[in-house]
Structures are given as structure tokens and as C-alpha cells.
Amino acid sequence: MKMIRRRQSPDDARAAAVEAAHGLLIEEGVAAVTLKAVASRIGRTHANLLHHFGSAAGLHRALAEEIARRVSASITAAIASRRRGEATPRDVVDAMFDAFARDRVGELVGWIALTRQREALLPVTETVAAILADFRAAGDPRPMDRVVLGLVLLAIGDSLVGAEVAAATGDDPMVVREIAVAQIGALLS
């Protein structure tokens, strides 16, 4: 019996490819996120993915957009909880660091930067700007630009090599989160 494959809408095809790319990133690392590997995972051809993304860089950018959306949602929810008095600064730091680690943000950002696909970083930088704009829209006069800058860079570094650097210093990997909370306190005092 011949299997009949249903035609996907372009949006559904792109979403399936990005989800497959995200799975490869989580399971095997960014080097595994190739057009060939993603096509194989979703039962499509390399040419089909080229049609939808234009290039491997286009796929990487779409993956960065999806990860930025997920991370932003997590951080925004933590900030909203903090504003309602339901969370501590440490809760916000934990939400950010956990989201960056879960979605391997450091690895993806590092790969994009090292392969000089700087335009693919746009979703990440737009997310950072959106988080900062949220603080400004709430009328927060504190230097949140410095807080966000420091937290994002610490979270990226931690998601990339935090465990290894902590081991080299003999510290618990969670110490960097305490440093982040102290940084927030210092900048906002």
C-alpha cells in the first residue's frame, strides 16, 4: 500500500523544520543543525528546506527567532511575577538562566557569531530590546539597561561554559546566579 503524504502549508512546513532544528540543537548541539539533518528528521528534502529558508543561515535565523520567543516568554512571565510581588530577583535570574540553558542559547549565539551570520542574531537582540522596553514602559527609572546587559551576558556565558568554568574555580555552578543577583542589587541601589 502506498502512503499518501498530506501537503503542508508553508507555515506548517517551516514550523516543523524549526521544531526539528530545535530538537537537534538540544540533543546533539548546534553543529548537528544542518539542512540535511533537519530534512531527514521531518521526511523532507534538502531542496524543500532551501525553498522555505533560502540557506542554512535562514534556518539558523528561524531557529533563533523561535528560541528568542520561548526565552522571552519565560523571562517576561518572571518579571511580571516580580512586579506583582510574587517573585524575588533570584526567581527572575533563575528563570532567565534556566531558559538560556534549556534552549542552549549560548551555543546558538556562539555558533551564529563565529560563523559570521550576525543578521541571525537579530531575533536575540530584538528580544533583549523588548525586555528593556517593557521596563521603560512601566516607568521604571532605574538603570535597567545595565541590569539587562549584565544578566544577558552572564546567562549566555553560563549556558555555554558555566559548569566547566565553575568546576575550574571550585565553585558550585549556581554561584553565578548569586553573582547576578548581587549585580542587580549593586546596579539598582
pLDDT at 101 over 90: yes
Write out pLDDT tens, residues 5-59: 567 788 888 999 999 999 999 999 888 999 999 999 999 988 999 899 998 888 9
- H-run or E-run covering 113: helix 105-114
Q: Confidence band (pLDDT; 50, 70, 90) for 64?
A: confident
Q: Can you give the pLDDT at residue 4?
A: 45
Q: Domains plus CATH for the chain?
A: 10-188 (1.10.357.10)
Band of pLDDT at residue 124, cut at 50, 70 and 90? confident
**pLDDT computed for residue 162 by the predictor:** 94
- Separation of first and last alpha carbons in the chain: 71
Q: Answer whether 14's CB lies under 8 Å from 95's CB.
A: no
Task: Please tell me the pTM assigned to this model.
Answer: 0.82
Q: Is the pLDDT of residue 2 over 70?
A: no
**pLDDT at position 128 over 50:** yes
State residue 1's pLDDT score.
47
* C-alpha grid cell, residue 60: 539558523
Average pLDDT over residues 112-118: 84
Q: How far apart are CA 161 and CA 167, in angstroms?
A: 10
Q: How far apart are CA 19 and CA 12, in angstroms?
A: 10
Give the Cβ contact number of residue 120 at 10 Å.
24
Stretch 104-132: mean pLDDT: 86
Q: Return mean pLDDT, the chain.
A: 88
Rounded CA-CA distance 121/19 in Å is: 18
DSSP character at residue 3: P
Task: Calculate the dihedral angle through the C-alpha atoms of 61, 98, 106, 41, rounding to the nearest 10 degrees.
Answer: -50
Give the model's confidence band at 3: pLDDT under 50 very low, under 70 low, under 90 confident, else very high: very low
